[in-house]
Each structure stands twice: as C-alpha cells, then as structure tokens.
Structure 1
Amino acid sequence: MFLLEPSEWGLAQALMVFGACALVIAIAGTRITRVVDQLADRTGVGEAAAGAVLLGAATSLGGSVLSVTAAWNGHAELAVSNALGGIAVQTFFLAVADMVYRRANLEHAAASAPNMMQNGLLICLLSVIMLAPMLPDVTVFGIHPVTPALFGFYLYGLKLVQGATESPMWRPAVTLDTREDTPDDTTQMPSMVRLWTEFLGLMAVLGVAGWALEPSATTIARETGLGQTVIGVMLTAISTSIPELVTSVAAVRRGALTLAVGGIIGGNAFDTLFTAASDLAYRDGSIYHAMSNDARFWVALTILMSGILMMGLIRRERVGIGRIGAESVAIMVLYLGGVLLLLS
C-alpha cells in the first residue's frame, strides 16, 4: 500500500507513515542531543551557541524543507503558518521541558547571557516579519527586501550570541540550583571526525523523516477536512517540531540545561528564516503580503510568549506553581488559548 503515490493514500496509510516518521524522529532526536552536547565541549563553543546553531538547525531541517516546498508549490499560507506555528509550539515545548526538570524552574537554572541574547534576537526577527506586510509590496526578482534583511540580521545576531558566550558583559547570579555551562571531560569522548559524521548522519535522518511527514500530514488534513492554516499551525508545525520536544527533554535529563534552552530559542530564531527562504521559493510576489490574519496573529502571540520567557530568564523564580515557573504556566495558557481561537 505504501507503493502508492501520497495523493492516493487513505487516512490509515497516512497515519501509519506519520507514526513511523515520528518514531524515527524521536530516536534520532534523542541521539543528536548527546552528540551536540559533546561537540559543544569538543569545539569549545559552549552549549548555548551549539544549541542555537547545531541543534537548532538540525532539528529544524524537516520544517524548513516543508515550508520551502509549500511555497514553491504556491501554498503561501501553509508555508508561513508552518514556520510561525513551529516557533510557537516549540516555545510551548520549553514549558514542557520545565515540567520535566523538578529541581528548580528551568528559567532559574539555565539563565545565561547567550540564551537571553538569542531570545532578544528571536523577538527582533519576529518583529521584522510582523512589520513586513505593512511595508510597500515591492520585489526584486520576486524577492522582498525584508528577506535579505532577515538573513543579515540573523547572521549578525549569531555573532552577538558568540560574543556573549566568549566575553559576557553580564552574568546571572549563581545559586545552588544554577547549572552553569561547564565542559565535560573530552578525553572520554569520541573523536571529532566521528562526532561530526554522526551529527551529519542524524541530521540527514531528521531531514528525510520531516520531508516524509509532509505528504502524510497533508493527507490526514485532506481526509479530515481541516483548513490550510490549521494544517500549518496544528499539524505540520507540531509534527516537524517533534525533534525540539525530544531533544529539549533529553537535554534536561542529561543535565545540559543551557543546551535545552539554547536549542529551543536558537531553533526558534533559525525558524524565522523559514519565512525568508519561503519568500525566495514563492514566485507569486512577496510572501509576507500573502500572510493571512491568522498568521499575523501567531506572530504577535509568539512575540508575547518570547517576551514572557525573557522576563522569566531575568526574574529567575526558583520554584513556582506546581514546581514550574509562572512564565511557563503563562506560555502554556497563551499557546493553548491560541489553539482554541484557531479552532473556533
């Protein structure tokens, strides 16, 4: 039955493919967290930077392929809603990871200058995307000027994150529950060649699994009669964000708290480039001006969630409601509220 074209799949086939891909992503995502943690120590770049660049890019590969493919096929709303919905659900996943770490609130234990810098970068990039539809609808070779600005802003932001890692001008107060980014003993780790080979192999597995999720998710949506925005925000965004959930929980269990937070926030900043890459692939004008009101709502909601997370990293409440941070509770309420509004 799997020799059929995806367009010929029924709901049962699509669900089986979806489940198989999700399982592969869960296994590969758990393993790639350990590899990135070791690469962070081997290369000396630190967990926050490694989480932003390596873990964030690797776990976001499936979503980026999906958004670009959708844009190339002319489905602007699906491309944008997948990218923006992914950022929102991954922020929600950070609150889930906070529930896994029982010693103290994750915002308290993993506060660091690089993570705060990354979160500031994310808020700025989302604000640029939110401003884009209000700018003149002009393109050069089919590309809106905001697209190269997003790429440039992101690269400059990575430089600032690296600077905050190497020479921080601000440090969080160290408490008994603070988990600092201290390198492990590298003598017991595999060689750099083996680590990089394993990382690239796992990244390829995640990318292929994410690519395979797209037709199964589309088939499920078609068979159940869901709309395109619901597909992007609720189905493809969540399915392609499974690596972020798995890797963040796995990193917390390994004690790599900075990596867990940095992987989510860094991955979110990287995911804003889905929109820029989708504009490159979209041939019917500016993809920003094809954004629906629902997509703009999710941009605004994600900025609010990211701002609350920033406040949590600064406030650093040690123990909150149910032994998770009040910020995590607020993020979960906002996300679930947004989902209810979308489905209503």
Structure 2
Amino acid sequence: MLEQWSMLGLLTAFGLAALVVLFNGLRITALADILADRTGLGEAVSGAVLLGAATSLSGTVVSITGAFEGHASLAYSNSIGGIAVQTAFLAIADLTYRKANLEHAAAELANLFQAVVLIVLLTLPLIALSLREFTIFAVHPVSLVIPAVYVGALFATRSLRETPMWRPVATRETRKDTPEREDGRTRRKSTARLVASFAVLMVIMGIAGWVIAKTAAEITGRMALSESLVGALATAVVTSLPELVTTIAAVRRGALQLAVGGIIGGNIFDTLFLTAADVSYREGSLYHATGMADHFWTVTALLMTGLLLGGLILRQRMGPGRIGVESLTLLVIYAGAILLQATHSSG
C-alpha cells in the first residue's frame, strides 16, 4: 500500500508518528520513574525492564516482519544496528546533562551488570556464525539460549539490587536513586491504574514506532540502498527514536539511573529480536543467512558496549565539552561505523 503513497505523504506520516513518540515518550518515562519507586524495582531495573520493553516494540515488529518475508539481513541488522545507535543516544543524553559526566553521576551497580550481560549476549551470534549451521525446526540453538540468559539476568539483577556486594563511591556529583514525591493527581491513582496507563502508552509507542519504521523503510527503499544499510541505519535509527526521547526525558527529570538503565536494558531486549527473527525465518539459521556487513554491526555494538562499561566503571567527573571522554568516543565510533558501512555499500 505504501508503494502508492507520494513522498510527501510518507514524510507527513513519519513526522506525525515522531510527534506521537515525543509526547508519549515524556509521559511513559514519568510513569516508569513512579513505578520504579512504588514497586521497589529501582530506576536501573525499571529502565531495563519497563522502558526497555516499551520502547523496543516497533523494532521487534520490523525484525519479525522482515525475517518472515525472507529478509534475513534486514531483520538481523535492524536488531544489532539498534543497539549501536541507542548506545550513541546515551552519549547525546550526556550532552544534555551539564552538571557532570552522566556515567559518573548515574552510579548504579545494576547498570554495570546489565552491560556485562549485553556483551555476553552480543557474543552469542558470533559463536553461532563460527560453527557449522545447525538448526532445530529451522531455529538455531543460540536463539534458545538468548532468552534464557535474558530471564536469568533479570533475576540476578534484582538480587544484585537487594543484596549488593559492591557499592560505587558517592561524590558530590553522584545522583542517588531516591523516591520522589508524587503530585496530588498521580498519588490518588492506584499502582494497577498506573500500570494500565503504562501499557496503553506502550502500545501507542509501538504503533507509532511501527509507522516510523514502515514509512522510513519505504523512503530509503526508493533510494535503492542495501538491506544491511537500511536495517542498521534506517529502520534501526527510526525505531530507536523512543529510546532517545525517553532517555533525554529521564535525564531532564533527574532520573539518571533510569536513563542509563533504559538504554542498556533496551539494548539487551533488542537481542531478543534475534530469537524472534530466527523463529520467523523459515529458511534455516538466521545467523548463517546474514553477511559480513551485518556482523560488522555486531562487532561495533560490542566495542561501544565495552567502552560504555569502561566509562561506567571509571566514572570520569568531567571531560571535554562537559561530557565524558567515553561519550565523545562513542559518537566518533558510531559516526565512523556509518561512514565505513556507507563507503562499503557504495563500493
């Protein structure tokens, strides 16, 4: 149907969906912050679970749809490319927080652990690729391991928060995860009602993200770009817009652990796209149906996550332009990856 739309119509639909993401992203971040306090999950875990799932719905739809239609490269690169761009978004969020380096102020052990989990999950597709193709009902065993690791990590993170064995050093710039006072209107609402509101906003975000993905894919498709490039740069970027909005909104609210946890948690959730896509891809192993251009983004995402983890551990107070050196490096790496991918595709 979109093939019959004019370019103006596609751009209008894209813009309207982006506005929906903007306003709903602000509200869903506020609800996630309140639910983090009411449920006792904490901002880091709430960001990893609630924001991670809510802002990743549209990307899931893109990967499943692409894989089901036989576009393995698009499905894979949409997932991994989203992880890379969302990590870069955290560096952009650091630019909006002027008091100190975001990774210093948002000291939270759960986020460190989640970053380690993400590195483990990103290595699994590379392990699958290095072995001979083997599937069970056209699904690679690695796709079964990914959700198991994800669920296990959630339980481990909750345990880590309740009985931490390590604690970050508190400084004047460190922002603690403490419950905030709710306004009168929110205080009168039950937790169940807030959860229901969150679910409705989550669905709206997913629909808006799906519209963004479909219109952007059509726009870039008319430019005759490769599936890998479209997946990693077009659909991955536009379906990651909710993460950008919610992360900046969380920073502006002072919910720094929520902002960092939302990005890392969203990235971990994005690895589940691979499982969903592999199940939807009926021609064999999704990992063996992709090319080196797709796995280039896997390595890039690993590099960026490792650098982010280093920044969270080092906790530099201030860097160039009042952001951390790791944030600046993340932006340089992502920009360089785009340049290399674009040059390779055009060549």
TM range (shorter): over 0.9
On the 8 A contact 2:105/2:174 being kept in 1, the answer is yes
Residue identity in the other structure for 2:258: L
Structure 2 counterpart of 1:22: 18
Structure 1 counterpart of 2:161: 165
Q: Equivalent of 2:50, from 54, 61, 69?
A: 54
Residue identity in the other structure for 2:130: M
Q: Take 2:257 and 2:329, find their aligned partners in 1: how far apart are those partners?
A: 21
Give the C-alpha shift of residue 186 in structure 1: 5.6
Residue deviations 1:274-293 (CA, integer Å, cap 9, x gap): 11110011000000111211
Q: Please tell me whether residue 202 in structure 1 is matched to residue 201 in structure 2.
A: yes
Q: Take 1:289 and 1:273, find their aligned partners in 2: how far apart are those partners?
A: 17
Name the Cα RMSD after superposition. 1.1
On the 8 A contact 1:76/1:287 being kept in 2, the answer is yes
Structure 2 counterpart of 1:122: 118
Q: Residue 179 of structure 1: SS of its match in structure 2?
A: coil
Structure 1 counterpart of 2:135: 139
On the 8 A contact 1:37/1:256 being kept in 2, the answer is yes
Give the C-alpha shift of residue 272 in structure 1: 0.7
Structure 1, unaligned stretches of length 5 or more?
A: none
Q: Residue 21 of structure 1: SS of its match in structure 2?
A: helix
Q: Which moved more, 1:6-15 or 1:152-161?
A: 6-15
Q: Which moved more, 1:187-196 or 1:44-53?
A: 187-196
Residue identity in the other structure for 1:200: A
Give the C-alpha shift of residue 217 in structure 1: 1.6
Residue deviations 1:140-159 (CA, integer Å, cap 9, x gap): 11111001101101111111
Give the C-alpha shift of residue 178 in structure 1: 0.4
Give the C-alpha shift of residue 187 in structure 1: 8.2
Q: Take 2:118 and 2:141, find their aligned partners in 1: how far apart are those partners?
A: 19
Give the C-alpha shift of residue 55 in structure 1: 0.5
Structure 2 counterpart of 1:81: 77
Residue identity in the other structure for 1:138: F
Residue identity in the other structure for 2:277: S
Q: Take 1:131 and 1:10, find their aligned partners in 2: how far apart are those partners?
A: 44
Q: TM-score of the superposition, structure 2-length normalised? A: 0.96
Structure 2 counterpart of 1:149: 145
On the 8 A contact 1:30/1:247 being kept in 2, the answer is yes
Q: Please tell me whether residue 226 in structure 1 is matched to residue 222 in structure 2.
A: no
Q: Take 1:212 and 1:309, find their aligned partners in 2: how far apart are those partners?
A: 31
Q: Which moved more, 1:161-170 or 1:251-260?
A: 161-170
Q: Which moved more, 1:86-95 or 1:162-171?
A: 162-171
> How many aligned residue pairs are there?
340
On the 8 A contact 2:209/2:242 being kept in 1, the answer is no
Structure 2 counterpart of 1:10: 6
Q: TM-score of the superposition, structure 1-length normalised? A: 0.97
Q: Take 1:33 and 1:274, find their aligned partners in 2: how far apart are those partners?
A: 23
On the 8 A contact 1:10/1:223 being kept in 2, the answer is no
Q: Take 2:34 and 2:6, find their aligned partners in 1: how far apart are those partners?
A: 42
Aligned residues with identical type, % of pairs: 50
Residue identity in the other structure for 1:300: V
Structure 2, unaligned stretches of length 5 or more?
A: none
Q: Take 1:278 and 1:177, find their aligned partners in 2: how far apart are those partners?
A: 42
Residue identity in the other structure for 2:45: A
Q: Take 2:153 and 2:290, find their aligned partners in 1: how far apart are those partners?
A: 25
Q: Residue 192 of structure 2: SS of its match in structure 1?
A: helix
Q: Take 2:155 and 2:113, find their aligned partners in 1: how far apart are those partners?
A: 10
